[in-house]
A and B are shown apart, each in its own frame.
Chain A
Amino acid sequence: MVSTAFKPTGEIFTRDQRLFPQAPTLEHFDRVINGQLIPGVNFGTFLANSLLVTLGAVAMGALFSLLAAVAVARFRFKLRSAFIMLLIVIQMVPMEAMIISIFINFRSLSEATGVQLLGNLSGLLIVYTAVSLPITILMLRGFVAAVPKELEEAAAIDGASGWTIFWRILMPLVAPGLVAASIFAFITAWNEFIVALTFLGRSTDNYTLPLTLSYYFGRFGTEWGPIMAASTLLTIPVMIFFLFVQRRMVSGLTMGAVKG
């Protein structure tokens, strides 16, 4: 993929396929980044849309899931089992199965409230946050549960309030887990395709990066050069994010999983 991104168009369409480009070129990157795919909208807009919606969803998801994970791992309450059950069942129902209803719901929700949720990023933001919540809560639960209770109790004896315990003791110890969960949410939202496809419809101003890809593909035949260039560009942010926290991510995922 990366190799093809640098090939000139002529070399892509030849029968004499090589693994590496003979004459590397940046023309496809140039087209992807500077080209006017849809009049008035360019790569920068798509990138900004994607970043906005992904980072927004990650931030909201981190906050909500941390709160819920603390509740599940540290407190006993009547609806605790019901809540975990809810998380697991939701995680199992396939997105394609729900998308019909979600779409119809958001439409009536926008009609009822007067806030337009379809055709712009706000609906996507809400859906992306909700979609990764079950997994991130269950992951974080393992981390919160792993923090020795004795630490909190010692702090409580020293007179620390609930909030101080949360910020001073729990937060630093759960941070790696929070990072891991955020990565998970990041990848999920960043790569998401079907909800964006459905929700944004014809509102091209708001397209996210994955949708841009499908644009090079279909309309006027498949343009492999730009597709590969765009795919490469699309993977870069994920890779950067990923390499950054790779080690923590691995132990984080497994830990959350094993602890359940």
Chain B
Amino acid sequence: MPRTVDKASAEPDGAVGQAPARARRPKPIPYLLIIPSVILLAVVLLWPIVQMVWYSFTSFTTRNLMPNQPGPEWNDFAHYQSLLTDPAFWSILRNTVVVCVLMVGITMVLGTLIGILLHKLPKWFSTFVAIGMMLAWSTPALSASLVFRWLFLPERGLVNVVLDRLPNWLVGDGWLQYNWFLEPLSLFSILIMVIVWQSFPFVAVSVLAGLKSIPSELYEAARMDGANAWKSFWNVTFPMLRPLFALLLVLQIIWDLRVFTQLYILANSFQNKDVYLLSYYIYQQGFSASPANYGMGSAIAVVMTVMILAVTAYYLRIMIRQGRPDDRRRQDRSSRDRRSRLHVG
């Protein structure tokens, strides 16, 4: 029986269709299988992306949505021009990048450290901690943001009360009345705390799962060579988990650039442009500004999308190359060859 299978998988790639197991499967099947997803995605998400790009080149406000008004009109890149010359946009962009870098950085470092810690702890305890962390992750963004907002409320938030109780020489006074939600620095600090609190468990648990897959012989060898914990992390753990780290990093970047709900709850208004992030700006322009300016919102959205695409181009390339059925087969075959050669030797 193994011989038959070998023969099937040894077919040249171009002739996969003739392999015995697939002879009964006609070609249209894969297309039939993806068609429901493709239609749904195309209608709900892909078409809007195309439109979004188009709208970003037009003047399109609520006026154009009235029944007897003309549709969106081409406006010669006016949105992009005004965006690029708008100091508010640049400061929002800068804030977004800084906040995102901080979120991603802290999340990755904290998550990795806790993942490593969990790996060292006894199994029952690490499972217990892991479940606790997963609860933080599964808490809705809305509830988490509300909890943090409440903690930092002026006059009665837990944090303000505690800071007020601490001796004045340590933290200064006047904390009780301090409003964390007015200044960008304090607001963004809280925002970063919420995001990190919610997203480090995913990193930690993924790292833990990754660590479990590294053979312990490697660490023993490193220890025999006299490596300390730091060195064995950089020379064993990191190279082994490089694909995982790359993936986590890129996912975090995508997710953190998209932060909206948390800011919506924490800032609680569109008054203060200093505390905007890009996604918040899009929503404000498209829905809350008067008149709502869909064209401008779309233009910001395009800028943001291009940014994410540029940052994640690496991930995209890997994802497409990975896991192609014929690649897998080639790998299987070569490992099988190696094994048989070993037996012969």
Contact = CB atoms under 8 A, between A and B. Distances in A.
| Interface size class of chain B, counting residues whose CB lies under 8 Å from the partner chain | 35 or more
Given A92-B312, A97-B301, A126 B27 contact: no
Contacts, number: 275
B104 interface: no
Contacts of A243: 131
B52 interface: yes
Contact of A86 (B41, B52, B322): B41
B193 to A, nearest CB: 15
B290 to A, nearest CB: 16
- Residue among A85, A94, A149, A193 having the largest count of chain B Cβ atoms under 10 Å: A94
A162 B25 contact: yes
Interface stretch (B84-92, B140-148, B214-222, B229-237): B140-148
Interface stretch (B75-83, B105-113, B182-190, B204-212): B204-212
Nearest to B64: A104
A182 interface: no
A110 interface: no
B30 A194 contact: no
Contacts of B304: 94, 97
B315 to A, nearest CB: 8
Given A96-B258, A101-B55, A213-B142, A242 B134 contact: yes
Interface in B17-71: 20-21, 24-25, 27, 29-31, 33-34, 36-38, 40-41, 43-49, 51-52, 55, 65
| Interface size class of chain A, counting residues whose CB lies under 8 Å from the partner chain | 35 or more
B279 A94 contact: yes
A52 interface: no
Interface stretch (A33-41, A61-69, A172-180): A61-69
Given A71-B34, A127-B44, A246-B131, A94 B206 contact: no
Contact of A153 (B5, B55, B247, B286): B5
A76 interface: yes
B209 A250 contact: yes
B8 A153 contact: yes
Nearest to B160: A17
A222 to B, nearest CB: 8
A164 to B, nearest CB: 12
Contacts of B301: 93-94, 96-98, 100
Interface in B264-284: 264-265, 268, 279-280, 282-283
Interface of B: 1, 4-5, 8-9, 16, 20-21, 24-25, 27, 29-31, 33-34, 36-38, 40-41, 43-49, 51-52, 55, 65, 130-131, 134-135, 138-143, 146-147, 150, 155-156, 158, 161-162, 176, 202, 205-206, 209-210, 243-244, 247, 251, 254, 257-258, 260-261, 264-265, 268, 279-280, 282-283, 286-287, 294, 297-298, 301-302, 304-305, 308-309, 312, 315-316, 318-320, 322-326, 328
Given A94-B282, A97-B302, 11 more contacts: A68-B33, A86-B41, A93-B45, A96-B282, A100-B282, A156-B20, A187-B138, A193-B142, A210-B142, A246-B130, A257-B247
22 contacts: A64-B37, A77-B27, A81-B320, A86-B46, A90-B49, A92-B309, A94-B260, A94-B304, A96-B301, A99-B283, A102-B48, A105-B43, A105-B47, A130-B40, A130-B43, A145-B325, A162-B29, A190-B140, A242-B134, A250-B134, A253-B202, A254-B206
Interface of A: 1, 4, 12-15, 17, 19, 63-65, 67-68, 70-77, 79-81, 83-102, 104-105, 109, 126-127, 129-131, 133-134, 137-138, 141-142, 145, 149-150, 152-154, 156-157, 161-162, 187, 190-191, 193-194, 198, 210, 213-214, 217-218, 224, 227-228, 231-232, 234-235, 238-239, 242-243, 246, 249-251, 253-254, 257-260
